[in-house]
Structure 1
Amino acid sequence: MPEGHSVHRIARQFALHFVGHEVAVSSPQGRFAEGAKRLDGRRMTDSRAIGKQLFLEFSDDRWLRVHLGIYGAWDFAGELTADASIGAPRVTRLRMSEQEKPEPDAGQFPPPPVGAVRVRLLTERTVADLRGPTACEVLTPDEVQAVIDRLGPDPLVDDPEAGEARFVAAVRTKSTPIGVLLMDQSVVSGIGNVYRAELLFRARLDPHTPGRNVPEEVLRELWRDWTVLLREGVRLGQMMTMDGLDEEAYRAALADRADRHWVYHRAGLPCRVCGTPIVMELAAGRKLYYCPTDQR
């Protein structure tokens, strides 16, 4: 599932290529036909990510909310940059989900919809096709605010001190294990399976510790570390959670996901610090990876 850094990068693509332009909106698959009619021909005026939620604002106070979930992805085509930053290489097709993948030029613009495209957003120069989202709906400003009010703080959106205070206060009132709380989007926005496992290991924190038993300073450090990792993820387009790497190891980590993480997806492999086999167990229906020696 795409985590917070991915959605912020998707929002940047929309800000760069769609905001300020009139957008033709359609639903090639047909499941979003009524919603598409409400947005078609309007100007996109804002693109905003909060945690795993994407909000696209259109004229006349209409918003498109998208949550990609496990299977969702955006396919962009046309005049693009590879990472939505100044000076980035140009590409003509780009798939954005948990990972980002430049794809072969379709040879025409706009390319024909491929597969079950829930919604297509089209300007004169760029098209974005959405497939497989968990949520895709048109909302009013009040409805958007109601969704946002249910979300925990996001380090790239909230005031840093206020966001930290909200996170600490939310965790310290709960007996739920911290390994579950970090995945609760009402507690903190954007953390998924990968970042959850890596944050806990970096803090050497037992994932089974009840939230209210985690020392306040440890929670504050978790929030600050999440801020660092999220910013780095947005910059790189990858969840790089290992630090202290030399130049060669850093290049290897960028090239191979298996070299980017301390514990995630390493069940049975030796801990990179102590050598103890990494444990995998289910926590609230999701795979949780941790070191039983360093995180006790």
Structure 2
Amino acid sequence: MPEGHSVHRIARQFDRNIVGRTVAASSPQGRFAEGAAVLNGREAVAVRAVGKQMFLNFEGDVWLRVHLGMYGAWDFAGEVLADATIASANGRMGHTNQRGTDVDRIFDTAGENSLTSIGAPRRTRVRVRMSEQTTGLDDDDVDEAEWPPPVVGQVRLRLLTDVTCADLRGPTACQLQTPDEVRATIAKLGPDPLVDDPAAGEERFTAVVRRKPTPIGLLLMDQNVVSGIGNVYRAEMLFRARLDPHTPGRDVPEETVRELWRDWVRLLAIGVETGQMMTMDDLDPEAWRRAMAHRDDRHWVYHRAGLPCRVCGTAILLEEMGARKLYWCPNCQR
């Protein structure tokens, strides 16, 4: 499932490429035909992400709510702007390191930081114009790519401007909402460090966790408690805090709860800027480049079942918690 950093990146792409433009909306799949008809011909005027949900505002105070869920994704084609540049054919962009300084672009071999398709991993058959990464294609080949791009697969919603196409596939939720409905939806969500005041969010998160008997490993995945954390960030944050996932929230020391929130603030910012869920600190330049290119080198415990803990050498455990896979070290996290 796409985690919070991906949804904020999607919102950023919409802000750069769709907001301020009149949109031709359609539902090639047919499942959102009525909603698409309402959006068709309207200007997109604003976008916001909260946790794992995105809200796109159109003129007339019509709102589109999208929750990608387990399998949803937005596929972008055409001119996909990233940090004032045209994205590459693979949709990948440059990034900053943990210290906020510019570094050379490093492409993730698994496409985790892909802008062409953000959400559930998938390959895309469209090409991005004016690309520095269209290996084997000259500029004329790229410019002559069919426009608008052909519909591929089950596209729930297509939003098309004169230069950019955004296709939505496989979302859990795709619906129109009134302003009051948007406010009600957001009110049910836990704090998001990129939406709420970080200090206020910390107080709210701490107060909720400290009164719950629910295991902390479940609370971190509860979007009513905190917005945006998914399976990867849950496992990594618990390890970074050296916290047993089964500890009831009310038994977790207050300072540990507060540090969990502060860690989420840091990790979410890194994820949004790099497009990758980087959760390891203090890497030397070579290790940083390796981690940016390969997800197996950027996590402490996630996806490492049976492998030795990077800290103590104990075999990483895998269990199911909240119907999702949980990776943790029984020695470090006790």
Q: d(CA) in 2 for partners of 1:290 and 1:88?
A: 40
Q: Residue 195 and residue 98 in structure 1: after superposition, are their counterparts in 2 closer, same or farther (change >3 A)?
A: farther
Unaligned regions of 5+ residues in structure 1, if any? none
The Cα of 1:6 is off from its aligned counterpart by: 0.3
The Cα of 1:97 is off from its aligned counterpart by: 1.2
Q: Which amino acid aligns with 2:184?
A: A
Partner of 1:72: 72
Once structures 1 and 2 are overlaid, which stretch shifts more, 119-128 or 94-103?
94-103
Partner of 1:254: 292
- The answer as to whether partners of 1:175 and 1:211 remain within 8 angstroms in 2 is yes
The Cα of 1:96 is off from its aligned counterpart by: 1.2
Residues 261-285 of structure 1 show CA distances to partners (whole Å, capped at 9, x for unaligned) of 0000101000000000000111111
Residues 139-198 of structure 1 show CA distances to partners (whole Å, capped at 9, x for unaligned) of 000001111011000000000111111100111111000000000000000000000000
Q: d(CA) in 2 for partners of 1:9 and 1:156?
A: 11
The Cα of 1:109 is off from its aligned counterpart by: 1.4
User: How many residues are paired up?
Assistant: 294
Partner of 1:206: 244
Higher relative contact order (CA 8 A, sep 6+): 2
What's the secondary structure of 1:229's corresponding residue? Answer: helix
Partner of 1:85: 83
Q: d(CA) in 2 for partners of 1:86 and 1:184?
A: 35
TM-score under structure 1 length normalisation: 0.96
Q: Residue 246 and residue 201 in structure 1: after superposition, are their counterparts in 2 closer, same or farther (change >3 A)?
A: same
What's the secondary structure of 1:232's corresponding residue? Answer: helix
Q: d(CA) in 2 for partners of 1:135 and 1:24?
A: 20
Q: d(CA) in 1 for partners of 2:148 and 2:155?
A: 14
What's the secondary structure of 1:161's corresponding residue? Answer: helix
Paired residues for 1:56-71 under 5 Å: 56-71=56-71
Does residue 114 of structure 1 match 2:152? Answer: yes
Partner of 2:229: 191
Partner of 2:215: 177
Q: Residue 150 and residue 23 in structure 1: after superposition, are their counterparts in 2 closer, same or farther (change >3 A)?
A: same
Does residue 97 of structure 1 match 2:119? Answer: yes
Q: Which amino acid aligns with 2:306?
A: G
Q: Residue 216 and residue 277 in structure 1: after superposition, are their counterparts in 2 closer, same or farther (change >3 A)?
A: same
Partner of 2:12: 12
Structure 1: 4+ residue segments shifted above 4 A = 87-93, 98-104
- The answer as to whether partners of 1:91 and 1:102 remain within 8 angstroms in 2 is no
User: Percent same amino acid among aligned pairs?
Assistant: 67
Q: d(CA) in 2 for partners of 1:155 and 1:275?
A: 33
Query: Root-mean-square deviation (CA), in Å?
Result: 1.5
Unaligned regions of 5+ residues in structure 2, if any? 92-115, 129-144
